[in-house]
A and B are shown apart, each in its own frame.
Chain A
């Protein structure tokens, strides 16, 4: 039995003007190694221009079902207000990503940030809301960019590099299969 390392949620940005989107999680002893694991697991292919990792324990989450049921969002009045990053699931379409980064809100706790997010970003379909303190986010450094770009040259990972459908059609017509 090994001691399981903490879980980090991973957010991937596909292009510099696009949102950071949750793609899954990794386990690591710290944020730096979480970024390294995240790159191996989630950036083998284009496109990736940056990654964020956030400790799972720093994130508060509510689904629309939980918000509708009025699951207690405890608003602590003791703390000072801080900045929170908020994310939401915006569609029921079949997709490979979960919640997208929406923006920041000011709130007194991470739980309060969830309610503030739903009240602030009213034009965003909040099927699920996530929030975390902005300082809980560790972003990949600029120096990682060449590493992400390297994936674009590995064309053999792309299904469109294999002309099997076309070749099978030619063989069925009685022509030579080789291109």
Chain B
């Protein structure tokens, strides 16, 4: 802030963003812009990495070979998406190791939706349609982000995740037209994942102090509540068309606004899970630490091989 040219540079920076230009590594940027991006991108990367765990547990129990290949490919994509995002964050001056250490030591945040358990195969279907569906809405918005590396990672991720949502929706459709037991499986999975999916869009706009600055600098182009409303308007009629329901007795179509409206999210639960007190927080971190330790010999072998060949 002692920089006498700060105001001029800030004005130029904001003009560039207003013109639709991407800010690239090496370009001038306010320190707060860099910090906000590191916070968001590293959380996003960690979410992809932890996001492998709830569904990964079901790979060995897939009902047929096709479903197994689909789920393997989806979980493999999430590992790749974590890498795209760690790369994007690194261009801002944080290292991959710092981010991974913060995750393993329990200091980093990730999407709290992954702190809920997957109790049945239909949860894989509901996660695809609801959780990946919500993620794609958020990521489609972030693809317009003013920071080049984050935008590019989002464009690639959105292109790849289309099938993540569709494979889940396809399963829910089939269950909804199947036996009563299958229909019930689908309904119970939707009941479990509905509220966690709505919480994925983040706190209520009035509790989201970063949003005005993020929007001013083109990091976000829409608010949490706008995206959450778009999700409701797409998903509620879709779920109802299948003869299924959302677990919200107050959900109704508001003629005046043309939007679906339900009851308020349980914000106490939202903050509790974010702060680490969700049903699966400890288990997820333990699984990540074990995976990191179990991979140690691979890293050591690779390093030894490179040294021997070098």
Residues on A facing B (Cβ under 8 Å): 1-2, 4-5, 7, 23-30, 32-33, 40-42, 44-45, 61-63, 65-66, 89, 92, 94-98, 127-128, 154, 156-159, 161-164, 167-168, 171-172, 176-178
Q: Which chain B residues lie closer than 8 Å to A168 at the CB level?
A: 173, 238, 241
Which partner residue on chain A sits nearest B66 by CB separation?
Answer: A156
Within 8 A of A (CB), among B12-27: 20-22, 24-27
Task: Find out whether the CB atom of A164 lies under 8 angstroms from the CB atom of B69.
Answer: no
Q: Which chain A residues lie closer than 8 Å to B76 at the CB level?
A: 44
Whether a CB of chain A sits under 8 angstroms from the CB of B28 is yes
Q: Which chain B residues lie closer than 8 Å to A32 at the CB level?
A: 306, 309
Whether a CB of chain A sits under 8 angstroms from the CB of B177 is yes
Whether a CB of chain A sits under 8 angstroms from the CB of B302 is yes
Q: Which of A4, A7, A177 contacts B177 (CB 8 A)?
A: A177
Chain A at the B interface: SS class: mixed
Stretch at the interface among B42-50, B95-103, B246-254, B262-270: B95-103
Q: Which 5 residue pairs spanning A and B have beta carbons closest together? A: A159-B162, A29-B306, A162-B166, A30-B306, A96-B156
Chain B at the A interface: SS class: helix
Which partner residue on chain A sits nearest B21 by CB separation?
Answer: A92
Task: Find out whether the CB atom of B80 lies under 8 angstroms from the CB atom of A40.
Answer: yes
Task: Find out whether the CB atom of A98 lies under 8 angstroms from the CB atom of B26.
Answer: no
Complex Cα spacing A14 to B160, Å: 16
Within the complex, the shortest CB–CB distance from A51 to chain B, in Å, comes to 14
Within 8 A of A (CB), among B65-92: 66, 69-70, 73, 76-77, 80, 83-84, 87-88, 90
Task: Find out whether the CB atom of A27 lies under 8 angstroms from the CB atom of B26.
Answer: no
Q: Which of B20, B26, B176 contacts A61 (CB 8 A)?
A: B26
Q: Which chain B residues lie closer than 8 Å to A40 at the CB level?
A: 80
Mask: chain B, 197-238; 1 = CB below 8 Å from A; 0 = not: 000000000000000000000000000000000000000001
Within the complex, the shortest CB–CB distance from A177 to chain B, in Å, comes to 5
Task: Find out whether the CB atom of B173 lies under 8 angstroms from the CB atom of A97.
Answer: no
Which partner residue on chain A sits nearest B81 by CB separation?
Answer: A41
Task: Find out whether the CB atom of B84 lies under 8 angstroms from the CB atom of A171.
Answer: no
Whether a CB of chain A sits under 8 angstroms from the CB of B282 is no
CB within 8 Å for A161 and B163 given contacts A66-B26, A94-B155: yes
Within 8 A of A (CB), among B264-310: 299, 302-303, 305-307, 309-310
Complex Cα spacing A98 to B151, Å: 10
Q: Which chain A residues lie closer than 8 Å to B144 at the CB level?
A: 94
Taking A24-B83, A41-B83, A61-B25 as known contacts, 4 extra A-B pairs with beta carbons closer than 8 A to each other, sorted by chain A number, are A92-B20, A158-B163, A159-B162, A159-B163
Which partner residue on chain A sits nearest B166 by CB separation?
Answer: A162
Task: Find out whether the CB atom of B166 lies under 8 angstroms from the CB atom of A164.
Answer: yes
Q: Which chain B residues lie closer than 8 Å to A30 at the CB level?
A: 306, 309-310
Which partner residue on chain A sits nearest B84 by CB separation?
Answer: A24
Complex Cα spacing A62 to B95, Å: 21
Task: Find out whether the CB atom of B27 lies under 8 angstroms from the CB atom of A63.
Answer: yes
CB within 8 Å for A63 and B310 given contacts A44-B76, A177-B177: no
CB within 8 Å for A167 and B66 given contacts A41-B80, A63-B26, A65-B27: no
Q: Which of A23, A98, A159, A164 contacts B148 (CB 8 A)?
A: A98
CB within 8 Å for A156 and B151 given contacts A2-B97, A63-B26: no
Task: Find out whether the CB atom of A4 lies under 8 angstroms from the CB atom of B95.
Answer: yes
Complex Cα spacing A65 to B21, Å: 12
Which partner residue on chain B sits nearest A71 by CB separation?
Answer: B26
Complex Cα spacing A127 to B303, Å: 37
CB within 8 Å for A29 and B160 given contacts A44-B77, A156-B70: no
Q: Which chain B residues lie closer than 8 Å to A172 at the CB level?
A: 241
Task: Find out whether the CB atom of B80 lies under 8 angstroms from the CB atom of A44.
Answer: yes
Q: Which of A7, A156, A167 contacts B173 (CB 8 A)?
A: A167
Q: Which of B96, B173, B176 contacts A4 (CB 8 A)?
A: B96
Q: Would you list 23 pairs from A and B whose C-beta atoms are within 8 A, ordered by A residue?
A: A2-B97, A24-B152, A24-B153, A25-B90, A26-B83, A26-B87, A28-B306, A29-B307, A30-B310, A33-B306, A41-B80, A42-B80, A65-B27, A65-B28, A92-B22, A94-B144, A95-B155, A98-B149, A157-B163, A163-B170, A164-B170, A168-B173, A168-B238
